[in-house]
C-alpha cells in the first residue's frame, strides 16, 4: 500500500450522477445518489493501484485536511494516464481525479 493524496478535478461531461456544490454536500451523511463535490480532497492508503474497469479504493485518513478515517471508493475507472512525474490521472464514470504519492 502506498500513501496517496487524491483530488477531484471535475465531473466528466456526461456523468451517471450529478456533482453537487460543496455547500450542498454534507460529508459523512447520506447525500442521496450524487458524486462528490469538486472541492473534495483526501489522503490515505490506497488498497490497490487504479485499474481500468474497476473501482479505485483508498483507506482514507484525512478529508479536506481534517483527520477523518473512512473508506473512499470511486465509480468504475474508464481511463488512466500516468504522467512523467508519477502523478496518475483517472477518469471514472462520474469524475476526474489526480492521484499523487505522498
Give phi and psi for 11, each to the nearest 5: -75, 160
Global pTM value: 0.92
In tens, the pLDDT along 4-60 reads: 999 999 999 999 998 988 889 988 888 988 998 998 999 999 999 999 999 999 999
CA 15, CA 97: separation in Å to the nearest integer?
A: 14
Domain of residue 10: give its range. Answer: 3-101
- Across the chain, mean pLDDT equals 94
Please tell me the total count of domains within the chain: 1
CA 34, CA 87: separation in Å to the nearest integer?
A: 26
Q: Quote the cell numbers at residue 65.
A: 485536511
Pairing of strands 41-46, 77-82: unpaired
Amino acid at each position: 500500500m502506498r500513501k496517496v493524496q487524491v483530488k477531484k478535478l471535475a465531473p466528466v461531461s456526461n456523468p451517471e450522477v450529478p456533482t453537487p456544490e460543496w455547500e450542498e454536500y454534507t460529508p459523512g451523511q447520506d447525500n442521496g445518489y450524487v458524486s462528490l463535490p469538486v472541492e473534495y480532497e483526501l489522503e490515505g492508503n490506497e488498497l490497490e493501484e487504479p485499474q481500468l474497469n474497476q473501482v479505485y479504493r483508498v483507506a482514507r485518513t484525512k478529508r479536506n485536511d481534517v483527520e477523518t478515517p473512512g473508506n473512499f471508493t470511486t465509480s468504475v475507472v474508464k481511463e488512466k494516464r500516468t504522467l512523467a512525474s508519477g502523478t496518475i490521472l483517472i477518469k471514472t464514470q462520474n469524475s476526474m481525479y489526480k492521484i499523487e504519492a505522498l
